[in-house]
Structure 1
Amino acid sequence: MTKLTAPLLIATMVLVGCGRLGDSNWNPLSWGSAPARSLEPEGGYAQVSDDRPDIPQITSARWEPLNEGRLLVVNGFAPVRGYSSVALVTARPMPGDRISPDADGVLRLRLVGLPPVQGSAALPARPGVDEITAAMSLSSVQLSRIVAVEITSASNVVTLRR
């Protein structure tokens, strides 16, 4: 009986190392250098920066309550009418639609938009009437990591505390 104990114990250890616990140090196939596993796609995440120019001036910024979070509403002003594709974008490129603050807890955004086409009859904008408005919704989970929001335009910066 004692003659069978040692070979059975060794065989059991070899089978355990090659079985379900294939990532263990007992598996002879894992003794080489295996690449680290990652969920990042091959070639990394696509980080596309937005090349639209900043809106000339931010006139106001405020929080509006939502059921699950808040809505950040930013108003801007330009000297001429006709800005299109106005949006709030992150100052540094982020993968997908993920929004996260910097290490200091400040979410840095830019108010951007496409100016009217050169050569078109650009009408002057009227203050208080021809405002440019953009909004971004932030969930409660996203807001829990944010201390402040800093919105940048071409001429000024507005900071909102949470």
Structure 2
Amino acid sequence: MSKLTAPLLIATMALASCGGGGSGWNPLSWGSPPARTLEPEGGYSQVSDNRPDIPQITSARWEPLNEGRLLVVNGFAPVRGYSSVALVTARPMPGDRISPDADGVLRLRLVGVPPAPGNAAVLPARPGVDEITAAMSLSLVQLARITAVEITSASNVVTLRR
């Protein structure tokens, strides 16, 4: 037994001296994989939507769906020709994930691209006829965390409770 103790003690001391994580002789670092994460290599994009807000929100309502609700928002602009109208989150979120703020309020903006300035085809809009409509579907899972939805335009804010 004593003949075996000396070589084991020498081998243990030799391996212990290989110390540090950068040493290729350290058996503790042989199988350690690099830290893994689900975050994309460049990180989550934090680009906010640069489209301007629609001038005014005229109404907002909930429509029932089988697996949640549809948020329908109507707006009005002084001229016809707005395009790419959408409801976007007030703060940038990764991908298409939608989550409320810490207080349970989902903050959205009604945005769109106005017609080009100086365009001869731009006509004044008629109230009640030339409304701008955007919708967003929310699943039951998303709605479970939301207590209210706050939609902002250039001139007013509309709040809907669940």
What TM-score do the two structures reach when normalised by structure 1?
0.79
Q: Which residue of 2 aligns with 1:160?
A: 160
Aligned residues: 139
Residue 129 of structure 2 is aligned to residue 129 of structure 1: yes
Shift of 1:55: 0.1
Listed one character per residue, the Cα deviations across residues 27-84 of structure 1 (whole Å, up to 9, x for unaligned) are 722799x864321122211222110000000000000000000000000000111111
Secondary structure in 1 matching 2:141: helix
Partner amino acid, structure 1, of 2:138: L
Q: Which residue of 2 aligns with 1:12?
A: none
Residue 112 of structure 2 is aligned to residue 113 of structure 1: yes
Identity of aligned residues (%): 85
Q: Which residue of 2 aligns with 1:98?
A: 97
Secondary structure in 2 matching 1:109: strand
Secondary structure in 2 matching 1:108: strand
Structure 2 counterparts to residues 12-161 of structure 1, below 5 A: 28-29=28-29, 36-121=35-120, 122-161=122-161
Partner amino acid, structure 2, of 1:50: D
Partner amino acid, structure 2, of 1:107: L
Q: Which residue of 1 aligns with 2:8?
A: none
Secondary structure in 2 matching 1:143: helix
Instruction: Indicate the structure (1 or 2) with the bigger Cα radius of gyration.
Output: 2
What TM-score do the two structures reach when normalised by structure 2?
0.79
Secondary structure in 1 matching 2:137: strand
State how far apart, in whole Å, the 1-side matches of 2:82 and 2:38 are.
39
- Structure 2 residue runs of 5 or longer lacking an equivalent are 6-26
Moved over 2 A (4+): 34-37
Q: Which residue of 2 aligns with 1:14?
A: none
Structure 1 pair 61–30 and aligned structure 2 pair: CA distance change class (3 A):
farther
State how far apart, in whole Å, the 2-side matches of 1:62 and 1:30 are.
60
Secondary structure in 2 matching 1:60: strand
Partner amino acid, structure 1, of 2:98: I
- Structure 1 residue runs of 5 or longer lacking an equivalent are 8-26
Partner amino acid, structure 1, of 2:69: R
Partner amino acid, structure 1, of 2:84: S
Structure 1 pair 144–123 and aligned structure 2 pair: CA distance change class (3 A):
same
State how far apart, in whole Å, the 2-side matches of 1:48 and 1:69 are.
28
